[in-house]
């Protein structure tokens, strides 16, 4: 079985964990770990202009948010990745589904966000010796301890082969990363040009609408002028004899 406990401070939680973790209680070893947030997602492709507060308000659309953070590096520069923790799991699932199925934008840039389930790793406790199962395989694996094998030995030869493979993997990943970065640069360049064309088209359409509206107003003005000018352009028929008598 398992249970969750909430303590008033982090310090008290760490103290309790240190005191109980690994103890044998009623014949069973007790393991104590800090609880993993079950309603958290990792957000990527964030603009450098997106702050913690902006991220918080953006995801509040899906439900109550406990915490939203745009991760920065050791120099305080934004990494483009963030973590959003919801109060309820359904809200987290709703946000995940919406972002995956649709295009979710936070800024003027049409570069959408992507998200994934946050998979936390235990970087505080790690794997303690007492947690490793005692099996025959463990004893065999630990027959030899830390060492540098001698050159041309079996361990040395295959150790070098593994290091060569590590190096190949590293270079291929670097080449792939550069290829992907170049693809991103091309797409951003194409997007900038396309956006300029889009703005120009919107401007032309706006000018066309304004021209059509101006022509409509001008036509309406001429129509009103014709309506007003009709009675003033000539005299009624019964008034003509009066003018002829005026010559007498």
**Over the stretch 57-116, which tens digit does the pLDDT of each residue have?**
999 999 999 999 999 999 999 999 999 999 899 999 999 999 999 999 999 888 999 999
**Over the stretch 104-140, which tens digit does the pLDDT of each residue have?**
999 988 899 999 988 877 666 677 777 778 888 888 8
Confidence at residue 230, expressed as pLDDT on a 0 to 100 scale: 54
Whole-number average pLDDT of the chain: 86
- Sequence-distant (≥ 6) Cβ neighbours of residue 216 within 8 angstroms: none
Instruction: Map out the domains of the chain as residue ranges.
Output: 40-117, 147-230
**Over the stretch 177-191, which tens digit does the pLDDT of each residue have?**
999 999 999 999 999
DSSP characters over the chain: -------SSHHHHHHHHHHHTT-EETTEE----PPPPTTEEEEES--TT--HHHHHHHHGGGS-EEEEEEEE-TTS-EEEEEEEEESSHHHHHHHHHHHHHS---SSSS----EEEE------SS---GGGS---HHHHHHTSS-S--PPTTSHHHHHHHHHHHHHHHHHHHHHHHHHHHHHHHHHHHHHHHHHHHHHHHHHHHHHHHHHHHHHHHHHHHHHHHHHHHHTTTSS--GGGHHHHHHHT-
**Over the stretch 216-237, which tens digit does the pLDDT of each residue have?**
999 999 988 888 865 544 445 5
Q: How much is the pTM? A: 0.63
- The pairing of strands 40-44 and 114-117 is antiparallel
Domain 40-117 sits in CATH 3.50.50.60: no
């Amino acid at each position: 079985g398992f249970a969750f406990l909430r303590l008033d401070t982090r310090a008290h939680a760490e103290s309790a964990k240190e005191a109980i973790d690994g103890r044998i209680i009623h014949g069973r070893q007790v393991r104590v770990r800090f609880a993993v947030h079950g309603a958290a997602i990792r957000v990527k492709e964030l603009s450098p202009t997106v702050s913690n507060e902006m991220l918080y308000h953006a995801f509040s659309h899906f439900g109550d948010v406990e915490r939203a953070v745009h991760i920065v590096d050791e120099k305080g520069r934004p990494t483009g990745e963030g973590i959003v923790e919801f109060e309820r799991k359904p809200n987290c699932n709703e946000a995940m589904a919406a972002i995956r199925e649709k295009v979710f934008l936070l800024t003027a840039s049409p570069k959408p966000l992507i998200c994934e389930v946050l998979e936390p790793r235990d970087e505080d406790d790690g794997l303690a010796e007492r947690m490793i199962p005692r099996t025959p395989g463990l004893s065999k694996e630990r027959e030899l301890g830390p060492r540098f094998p001698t050159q041309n030995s079996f361990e040395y030869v295959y150790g070098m082969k593994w290091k060569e493979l590590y190096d190949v993997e590293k270079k291929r990943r670097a080449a792939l990363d550069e290829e992907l970065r170049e693809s991103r640069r091309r797409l951003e360049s194409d997007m900038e040009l396309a956006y300029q064309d889009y703005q120009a088209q919107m401007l032309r359409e706006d000018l066309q609408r304004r021209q059509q509206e101006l022509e409509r107003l001008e036509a309406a003005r001429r129509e009103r002028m014709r309506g007003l000018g009709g009675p003033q352009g000539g005299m009624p028929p019964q008034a003509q004899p009066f003018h002829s008598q005026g010559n007498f």
